[in-house]
Chains A and B, each alone.
Chain A
Protein backbone atom coordinates (compact mmCIF):
# COMPACT_ATOMS: atom_id res chain seq x y z
CA UNK A 1 0.00 0.00 0.00
CA UNK A 2 1.02 3.58 -0.47
CA UNK A 3 2.75 5.51 2.27
CA UNK A 4 3.26 9.24 2.20
CA UNK A 5 6.05 10.87 4.15
CA UNK A 6 5.62 14.54 4.78
CA UNK A 7 7.86 16.77 6.86
CA UNK A 8 8.20 18.68 9.00
CA UNK A 9 5.05 18.11 11.07
CA UNK A 10 5.14 21.60 12.53
CA UNK A 11 6.91 24.70 11.30
CA UNK A 12 7.08 28.24 12.59
CA UNK A 13 8.53 30.77 10.18
CA UNK A 14 8.84 34.57 10.15
CA UNK A 15 7.17 36.66 7.47
CA UNK A 16 9.41 37.04 4.46
CA UNK A 17 11.37 33.85 5.02
CA UNK A 18 11.57 31.06 2.41
CA UNK A 19 9.72 27.77 2.64
CA UNK A 20 10.32 24.24 1.49
CA UNK A 21 7.98 21.40 2.41
CA UNK A 22 8.79 17.97 1.13
CA UNK A 23 6.58 15.01 0.38
CA UNK A 24 7.70 11.57 -0.75
CA UNK A 25 5.60 8.58 -1.66
CA UNK A 26 6.37 4.89 -1.20
CA UNK A 27 4.66 1.83 -2.51
CA UNK A 28 3.65 3.08 -5.92
CA UNK A 29 5.05 4.45 -9.13
CA UNK A 30 3.91 7.31 -11.31
CA UNK A 31 1.39 8.59 -8.78
CA UNK A 32 -0.68 11.70 -9.13
CA UNK A 33 0.50 14.05 -6.41
CA UNK A 34 -1.33 16.92 -4.72
CA UNK A 35 -0.71 19.75 -2.29
CA UNK A 36 -3.67 21.01 -0.24
CA UNK A 37 -4.00 23.75 2.31
CA UNK A 38 -6.57 24.07 5.02
CA UNK A 39 -6.70 27.54 6.49
CA UNK A 40 -8.32 28.07 9.88
CA UNK A 41 -12.09 27.74 9.68
CA UNK A 42 -12.09 26.81 6.00
CA UNK A 43 -12.20 23.61 4.00
CA UNK A 44 -9.39 21.98 2.12
CA UNK A 45 -8.17 23.88 -0.88
CA UNK A 46 -6.25 22.25 -3.71
CA UNK A 47 -3.08 24.23 -4.41
CA UNK A 48 -1.16 22.15 -6.94
CA UNK A 49 -1.37 18.79 -8.59
CA UNK A 50 1.06 16.83 -10.71
CA UNK A 51 0.52 13.89 -13.04
CA UNK A 52 4.22 13.32 -13.72
CA UNK A 53 7.80 14.54 -13.28
CA UNK A 54 8.09 18.22 -14.05
CA UNK A 55 4.33 18.55 -14.66
CA UNK A 56 2.71 20.97 -12.26
CA UNK A 57 -0.76 22.46 -12.42
CA UNK A 58 -1.68 25.36 -10.20
CA UNK A 59 -5.23 25.79 -9.03
CA UNK A 60 -5.11 29.21 -7.45
CA UNK A 61 -2.82 32.22 -7.84
CA UNK A 62 -0.70 32.51 -4.76
CA UNK A 63 2.63 33.07 -3.16
CA UNK A 64 3.61 29.42 -3.39
CA UNK A 65 5.15 27.17 -6.02
CA UNK A 66 5.55 23.43 -6.42
CA UNK A 67 8.06 21.18 -8.09
CA UNK A 68 8.31 17.48 -8.84
CA UNK A 69 11.97 16.65 -9.42
CA UNK A 70 11.42 12.91 -9.09
CA UNK A 71 8.53 10.55 -9.67
CA UNK A 72 7.67 10.20 -6.01
CA UNK A 73 8.81 13.55 -4.67
CA UNK A 74 6.69 16.67 -4.48
CA UNK A 75 7.98 19.93 -3.00
CA UNK A 76 6.04 23.01 -1.94
CA UNK A 77 8.05 26.22 -1.84
CA UNK A 78 7.90 29.90 -1.32
CA UNK A 79 10.56 32.58 -1.70
CA UNK A 80 8.90 34.93 0.79
CA UNK A 81 6.20 33.79 3.17
CA UNK A 82 3.17 35.92 3.94
CA UNK A 83 1.03 35.88 7.06
CA UNK A 84 -1.79 34.49 4.94
CA UNK A 85 0.31 31.40 4.17
CA UNK A 86 -0.37 30.07 7.66
CA UNK A 87 -2.35 26.87 7.62
CA UNK A 88 -2.30 23.12 7.51
CA UNK A 89 -0.65 21.69 4.38
CA UNK A 90 -1.41 18.21 3.18
CA UNK A 91 0.33 16.15 0.54
CA UNK A 92 -1.77 13.47 -1.15
CA UNK A 93 -1.28 10.82 -3.79
CA UNK A 94 -3.46 8.78 -6.05
CA UNK A 95 -3.43 6.60 -9.12
CA UNK A 96 -6.02 8.26 -11.27
CA UNK A 97 -9.62 7.32 -11.61
CA UNK A 98 -9.72 3.58 -11.89
CA UNK A 99 -12.43 1.85 -9.86
CA UNK A 100 -12.81 4.63 -7.34
CA UNK A 101 -9.25 4.44 -6.11
CA UNK A 102 -9.03 6.45 -2.89
CA UNK A 103 -6.45 9.09 -2.29
CA UNK A 104 -3.74 8.70 0.33
CA UNK A 105 -2.68 11.53 2.59
CA UNK A 106 0.42 12.47 4.51
CA UNK A 107 0.17 13.51 8.13
CA UNK A 108 0.28 17.18 7.22
CA UNK A 109 2.43 20.15 8.16
CA UNK A 110 1.10 22.88 10.37
CA UNK A 111 2.72 26.11 9.25
CA UNK A 112 2.56 29.18 11.44
CA UNK A 113 3.83 32.49 10.11
CA UNK A 114 4.88 35.08 12.68
Chain B
Protein backbone atom coordinates (compact mmCIF):
# COMPACT_ATOMS: atom_id res chain seq x y z
CA UNK B 1 0.00 0.00 0.00
CA UNK B 2 1.36 3.42 -0.91
CA UNK B 3 2.05 5.76 1.96
CA UNK B 4 -0.22 8.49 0.67
CA UNK B 5 -2.89 7.84 -1.93
CA UNK B 6 -5.16 10.17 -3.84
CA UNK B 7 -7.56 9.76 -6.70
CA UNK B 8 -5.68 11.39 -9.60
CA UNK B 9 -8.89 12.62 -11.25
CA UNK B 10 -9.47 14.69 -13.20
CA UNK B 11 -12.57 15.95 -11.48
CA UNK B 12 -14.58 18.04 -13.95
CA UNK B 13 -16.96 20.16 -11.93
CA UNK B 14 -19.30 22.98 -13.03
CA UNK B 15 -18.67 26.39 -11.57
CA UNK B 16 -20.57 26.93 -8.35
CA UNK B 17 -20.73 23.25 -7.42
CA UNK B 18 -19.28 21.63 -4.34
CA UNK B 19 -16.46 19.13 -4.73
CA UNK B 20 -14.65 16.94 -2.22
CA UNK B 21 -11.41 14.97 -2.35
CA UNK B 22 -10.11 12.32 -0.02
CA UNK B 23 -6.59 11.21 0.69
CA UNK B 24 -5.61 8.06 2.59
CA UNK B 25 -2.36 7.49 4.45
CA UNK B 26 -0.86 4.24 5.63
CA UNK B 27 1.30 5.25 8.60
CA UNK B 28 -0.87 5.45 11.69
CA UNK B 29 1.89 7.42 13.46
CA UNK B 30 1.64 10.29 10.97
CA UNK B 31 1.11 13.48 12.86
CA UNK B 32 0.80 16.45 10.53
CA UNK B 33 -1.38 16.84 7.49
CA UNK B 34 -1.72 19.49 4.84
CA UNK B 35 -3.43 20.28 1.58
CA UNK B 36 -1.33 21.99 -1.07
CA UNK B 37 -2.45 23.51 -4.31
CA UNK B 38 -0.27 23.30 -7.39
CA UNK B 39 -0.86 25.20 -10.58
CA UNK B 40 0.62 23.97 -13.82
CA UNK B 41 4.42 24.32 -13.91
CA UNK B 42 4.51 26.04 -10.55
CA UNK B 43 5.68 24.91 -7.15
CA UNK B 44 3.02 23.68 -4.75
CA UNK B 45 1.62 26.27 -2.35
CA UNK B 46 0.26 25.50 1.05
CA UNK B 47 -3.52 25.72 0.99
CA UNK B 48 -4.28 24.76 4.55
CA UNK B 49 -3.15 22.60 7.42
CA UNK B 50 -5.52 19.91 8.61
CA UNK B 51 -6.30 19.88 12.31
CA UNK B 52 -7.77 17.02 14.28
CA UNK B 53 -10.95 18.96 14.97
CA UNK B 54 -11.35 19.96 11.33
CA UNK B 55 -10.87 23.48 10.07
CA UNK B 56 -12.42 25.86 7.61
CA UNK B 57 -10.99 28.69 5.57
CA UNK B 58 -13.58 30.49 3.51
CA UNK B 59 -14.95 28.09 0.94
CA UNK B 60 -12.48 25.37 1.93
CA UNK B 61 -13.01 22.82 4.69
CA UNK B 62 -10.46 20.20 5.74
CA UNK B 63 -11.18 17.17 7.88
CA UNK B 64 -9.00 14.48 9.47
CA UNK B 65 -10.24 11.01 10.31
CA UNK B 66 -7.50 9.25 12.27
CA UNK B 67 -9.49 6.08 12.82
CA UNK B 68 -9.87 5.51 9.09
CA UNK B 69 -6.60 7.26 8.24
CA UNK B 70 -7.81 9.74 5.71
CA UNK B 71 -8.07 13.46 5.25
CA UNK B 72 -10.54 15.31 3.09
CA UNK B 73 -10.86 18.66 1.37
CA UNK B 74 -14.23 20.19 0.54
CA UNK B 75 -14.56 23.17 -1.79
CA UNK B 76 -17.90 24.96 -1.82
CA UNK B 77 -19.16 27.35 -4.50
CA UNK B 78 -16.25 26.42 -6.76
CA UNK B 79 -14.65 29.11 -8.91
CA UNK B 80 -12.85 28.85 -12.22
CA UNK B 81 -9.69 29.88 -10.38
CA UNK B 82 -9.94 26.76 -8.22
CA UNK B 83 -8.77 24.68 -11.18
CA UNK B 84 -5.47 23.16 -10.10
CA UNK B 85 -3.92 20.01 -8.72
CA UNK B 86 -4.50 19.46 -5.00
CA UNK B 87 -1.78 17.61 -3.16
CA UNK B 88 -2.24 15.78 0.08
CA UNK B 89 0.85 15.97 2.29
CA UNK B 90 1.58 13.87 5.36
CA UNK B 91 4.41 14.38 7.82
CA UNK B 92 5.72 11.51 9.92
CA UNK B 93 7.44 11.50 13.28
CA UNK B 94 10.87 11.16 11.68
CA UNK B 95 10.37 14.56 10.02
CA UNK B 96 9.80 12.96 6.67
CA UNK B 97 7.10 14.50 4.57
CA UNK B 98 5.29 12.59 1.89
CA UNK B 99 3.34 14.06 -0.96
CA UNK B 100 0.45 12.37 -2.64
CA UNK B 101 0.47 12.45 -6.42
CA UNK B 102 -2.33 14.97 -6.44
CA UNK B 103 -5.90 15.23 -7.63
CA UNK B 104 -6.55 17.32 -10.70
CA UNK B 105 -9.56 19.59 -10.56
CA UNK B 106 -11.09 21.32 -13.57
CA UNK B 107 -13.83 23.85 -12.92
CA UNK B 108 -16.03 24.20 -15.97
CA UNK B 109 -17.74 27.50 -16.91
Known contacts A90-B43, A105-B43, A107-B43; decide if A100 and B51 are in contact (CB<8 Å): yes
Indicate which residue in B31, B32, B93, B95 contacts A51 across the interface (CB closer than 8 Å): B95
Question: For chain B, which range describes its interface: under 10, 10 to 19, 20 to 34, or 35 or more residues?
Answer: 20 to 34
Cβ-defined contact, B102 with A43, below 8 A: yes
Tally chain A residues at the interface, Cβ within 8 Å.
Answer: 26
Interface contacts (Cβ under 8 Å), in number, total 60
Chain A: minimal CB distance from B45 (Å): 8
A97 within 8 A of B: yes
Interface string of A33-71 (1 = CB under 8 A from B): 010100000111110010100000100000000000000
Indicate which residue in A32, A44, A94, A97 contacts B99 across the interface (CB closer than 8 Å): A44
Cβ-defined contact, A102 with B34, below 8 A: yes
Indicate which residue in B31, B43, B98, B100 contacts A97 across the interface (CB closer than 8 Å): B31
Cβ-defined contact, A103 with B46, below 8 A: yes
Known contacts A46-B96, A100-B32; decide if A108 and B46 are in contact (CB<8 Å): no
Residues of A within 8 A of B (CB): 32, 34, 36, 42-46, 49, 51, 57, 88, 90, 92, 94, 96-97, 100-103, 105-108, 110
Q: List 12 interface pairs A-B (beta carbons < 8 Å), by A numbering.
A: A36-B99, A42-B101, A44-B44, A46-B96, A49-B97, A90-B44, A100-B32, A100-B33, A103-B34, A103-B89, A103-B97, A110-B41
